[in-house]
Structure 1
Amino acid sequence: MRVGLAVLGAVLVVSGCAGAAPPSNSPAVPVFSSAPAVAGVERTVPDNCGDVATLDELTRYLNNLVTGTVQPIVGVAQSNIGRTARIDCYYGVQAGQPMAKAKVWIGLASYVNEESARKRLTVTVADEQSAGATVSDVQVGADRGVLVRNANWMLVANRGRVTVVVQVIPVLVREDHAGALLGQVADRALTNR
């Protein structure tokens, strides 16, 4: 019993020396897991936004109510960049407003190979940086993505040959939670149902 308490005491002392962060007054970011991806199965780009994400899912992932309509634009293949399929989903479009006023935009695209997908993401991030955006690396499920801060929050990532772009108006997410929350939305969009 004394040995167990001594070990527990040593663990507490060592963990206390590790520079634990002071308690924060901000609420914890809720973490939701998307449907488990099937090993070896790459995401297919669907032809409807309900298979990308729903308004209810976005409300839950962003921890903020997303209301309005969902409007899709199904894209076409574009051989000069290696794109084979695309869908853009505009969530939270209010009556009488254009799609550009959507609260959330999620774009999925597939490419002929992973190299083409990564190249498109690199171009997107470079274009945003040249326009003055700041970028940081964030977690997207088991993968990594890039969080871009411009007029809106944007996250870009790829999983194999499929890319995702998630863009959210700033009032929907706090700055200190943007990477985690958009990472969850991107992971959901990159996961087959």
Structure 2
Amino acid sequence: MRVVLVIVAVLVLGGCTQSEPPKESPAVPVFSTAPANAGVERTVPQNCDAVASLDDLSRILDTFVTGPVQPVVGVPQDNIGRTARLDCYYGVPAGQPNSAAPIWIGLTSYVNDESARKRLTATVADERAASGTVNVSDVAVGADRGVLIRNANWMLVVGRGKTTVVVQVAPALVREDHAGALLGQVADFALTSR
């Protein structure tokens, strides 16, 4: 009798461990890390840690990001209304240029909202012209909307008032079906003063 009970228990437990694979990919987790002033226009900070740290990016993208962070400070440019710019290159491989970084975040401020919108439109147009065929879609970035561009990398461009952000991530770091949501979270984080 004991042998029969053991066999029945093994069969029942064995049946419990089998499951069908999910029919849809799991939802992208949304991290609520934005402070109370989220959505408020921010100024361009002095350093990349104030934009996003490696730990922030690792948490949001759910992948370990390592390597040096290389800042490039831009100068005001009157002809486009730019007042400040900070480009942050995360995880730059040793001995390679900043452009080899798997993550790039560029935060820029302009004299007014109109100048910022014009630069966003020009950035999207430049990306389309550079690669010929580009997949473009509209994605949520906090309370705002941004443009997700897919060419050699994932790129998201969005503005909040007089400030714009461009987030570029190597395709190996994010799944295609999660790219919009994850880059949207990174952009919202970068656009939020802390």
TM over 0.5: yes
CA contact (8 A) 2:40 2:192 kept: no
Q: How much has 1:40 moved relative to structure 2?
A: 8.3
Q: Secondary structure at the match of 1:176?
A: helix
CA contact (8 A) 1:78 1:84 kept: yes
Aligned counterparts, 1:1-193, within 5 A: 24-38=23-37, 41-130=40-129, 131=131, 132-193=133-194
Q: How much has 1:36 moved relative to structure 2?
A: 2.1
Partner residue, 1:20: none
User: 1:192/1:26 Cα in 2 relative to 1: closer, same or farther (>3 Å)?
Assistant: same
Q: How much has 1:41 moved relative to structure 2?
A: 4.5
User: 1:40/1:173 Cα in 2 relative to 1: closer, same or farther (>3 Å)?
Assistant: closer
Q: Unaligned regions of 5+ residues in structure 1, if any?
A: 1-22
Q: Deviations over 1:11-49 (max 9, x none)?
A: xxxxxxxxxxxx634232111123225278420100100
Q: Secondary structure at the match of 2:178?
A: helix
Runs of 4+ deviating beyond 6 Å: none
Mapped to 1, the partners of 2:126 and 2:36 lie a distance apart of 31
Count, aligned residues: 171
Mapped to 2, the partners of 1:158 and 1:152 lie a distance apart of 20
CA contact (8 A) 2:38 2:193 kept: no
Range moving further from structure 2, 36-45 or 84-93: 36-45
Range moving further from structure 2, 164-173 or 25-34: 25-34
Q: How much has 1:187 moved relative to structure 2?
A: 0.1
Q: Deviations over 1:135-185 (max 9, x none)?
A: 000000010000000100000000000000000001000100000000000
Structure 1 length as normaliser, TM-score? 0.85
Structure 2 length as normaliser, TM-score? 0.84
Q: How much has 1:63 moved relative to structure 2?
A: 1.1
Q: Unaligned regions of 5+ residues in structure 2, if any?
A: 1-21
Larger Rg: 2
